[in-house]
Amino acid sequence: MSWNVIGSTGAEEREQALFAECSEHVPALLAYVCRMLGGDRHRAEDIVQETLLRCWRKYNSGEEMLRPWLFTVARNLVIDGHRKKLVRPQEVDGAAWLEQEACELDHIERMLSAVVVSEALKALSPIHQGVLHETYYLGRTVEEAAKALGIPVGTVKSRIFYALRSLRLALQERGAIPVGSDVATAHTMRHRPSSSA
């Protein structure tokens, strides 16, 4: 990539000297700006080009050394660019839109699944609803559920088995899972039963 100072005709001695001196510092300046921008080379090139343009218009060799002047101007341009981004609305590219759309679709899918499961749970008997509520939704172990329900541990395990089988049938009737599917209904619930179930 060749770096030219915009407006340079090379006609005057000052222009030629400034162009030669700027050319020496461009690789280091580009690397510096690239680091400040987290590796965004395209933005870094824009900043360096703007720095060279300002150098061409404003730099006075009698007042300051060129290299520190270039680095200071470039740093200030990066800071100004960052500040401008903070005050204007966030830019949205195609990828961000797709991620947002996928997130919204996922949320809608979860809501619909929750409605279907809720309706299927209503089709279960109260004792089956109770045992699933204790173990899956409240996250209790079989022993804790047995104590809360006032029934033996073996009865809780049996009710969980039959409740899940009934729930699977209710979900199949609603088209939520394919008929004859071996898909465990536990995947449609929020919590898994304890390992002793």
Least trusted range by pLDDT, from 55-59, 116-120, 142-146: 55-59
Name the domain boundary from 28, 52, 87: 87
Provide the pLDDT confidence category of residue 177 given band limits of 50, 70 and 90.
confident
116 shares a domain with 80: no
Query: Does residue 103 belong to any structural domain of this protein?
Result: no
Whether 1 is in a domain gets the answer no
- Shared-domain flag, residues 69 and 132: no
Average pLDDT over residues 156-178: 86
Q: Which of 31, 52, 87 is the last residue of a domain?
A: 87
For 127, half-sphere exposure in the C-beta direction (CA atoms, 13 angstrom radius) is 11
Question: Do 71 and 124 sit in the same domain of this protein?
Answer: no
* Side-chain-facing half-sphere of 112: CA atoms under 13 Å: 9
Span 60-82, pLDDT tens digits: 666 668 788 888 889 999 888 88
Confidence of residue 197 (pLDDT cuts 50, 70, 90): very low
One domain for residues 74 and 117: no
Residue 147's closest CA among 139, 156, 138?
156
* Confidence check: pLDDT of 182 > 60: no
Q: What is the mean pLDDT of residues 133-144?
A: 91
Backbone torsion region of residue 179, taken as left when φ is above 0, otherwise alpha when ψ lies between -120 and 50, otherwise beta = beta
Q: Whole domain around residue 127: which residue ranges?
A: 112-188
How many domains are there within the chain?
Answer: 2
Q: Is 158 contained in some domain?
A: yes
Strand (E) or helix (H) holding 114: helix 94-122
- A 10 A CB-CB count for 124 gives 19
Residue 100 forms part of a structural domain = no
3-class SS of residue 178: coil
Give the other-Cβ count within 10 Å of 141's Cβ: 17
CATH number of the domain within which 171 lies: 1.10.10.10
160 within 8 A of 197, measured Cβ to Cβ: yes
Residues 29 and 63 in one domain: yes
Asked whether residue 59 is assigned to any structural domain, the reply reads yes
In a domain, 159, yes or no: yes
Provide the token pair at 84. 């401008």
Q: Please check the confidence at residue 162 and state whether its pLDDT lies above 90.
A: yes
